[in-house]
Amino acid sequence: MALNILVFYGSYRRDRMGIRLASYVVESFKSRGDACELVDAKAVDLPMLDRMYKEYDPGTAPAALQALAAKIKAADGFVFVTGEYNWGVQPGLKNLTDHFLEEWFWRPAAIASYSAGRFSGVRAAMAWHGTLSEMGIVVISSALSVGPIAATLDENGNPTGDAGGHLEKAFPRFASDLQWWAEAAKAQRQKIPPPY
């Protein structure tokens, strides 16, 4: 079954390296036959959170917020591509996610982390687990951890060297786990409406 996957990426930095991983994830899901779209927080450029989408009267939310809410509601699953800032999450990605709540409910997410160093952003990935769970998302156990990112993916998001080879070996299980949970959640939502 082809799925509708949204890949979220949140760096606002001038020389963004994580976009390589975001591009790789999007293209890899597409090669499996899924519909997959990158949601780049910098490109969406939501303001710092003042009012959540649900706090607007129907039809009055800013256009970018309205469009993204519709995409989130229509998705079968999510991938969060996150870098690590001082052992924590990227503020751009966190700000984007905080604009929504119920729109995320009853779907799974996977986390792909990266860094310039050998820890591969895993501390940020751990921080996202609790945040995503609070947002009503089931976080799958499979994860991608990429580092150093410059030695793993070239500027076009293509795997390179030994590290790139390890990423290519890890991706199929990562994607299959997300697919399993997305299909299960979709079937359950069709069978029994969510309780709220």
Q: How much is the pLDDT for 99?
A: 98
Whether the per-residue pLDDT at 196 is higher than 80: the answer is no
What is the band of 195 on the pLDDT scale with cuts at 50, 70, 90? confident
Residues 102-114 pLDDT 10s: 999 999 999 999 9
CA separation, residue 103 to residues 31, 70, 137, 149 (Å): 27, 8, 10, 31
Q: Determine the topology of domain 4-191 in CATH.
A: Rossmann fold (3.40.50)
What is the band of 87 on the pLDDT scale with cuts at 50, 70, 90? confident
Asked if residue 92 lies in contact with residue 13, where contact means CB atoms within 8 angstroms, the answer is no
For the chain, domain boundaries: 4-191
Asked if residue 157 lies in contact with residue 171, where contact means CB atoms within 8 angstroms, the answer is no
Single out the residue of 8, 6, 2 nearest to residue 34, CA to CA. Answer: 2
Whether the per-residue pLDDT at 1 is higher than 90: the answer is no
Write down the pTM of the prediction.
0.96
Arithmetic mean of pLDDT, 63-91 = 95
Residues 134-169 pLDDT 10s: 999 999 999 999 999 999 999 999 999 999 999 999
In angstroms, the CA 7 to CA 40 distance is 8
Q: How many Å separate Cα 169 from the centre of its chain?
A: 20
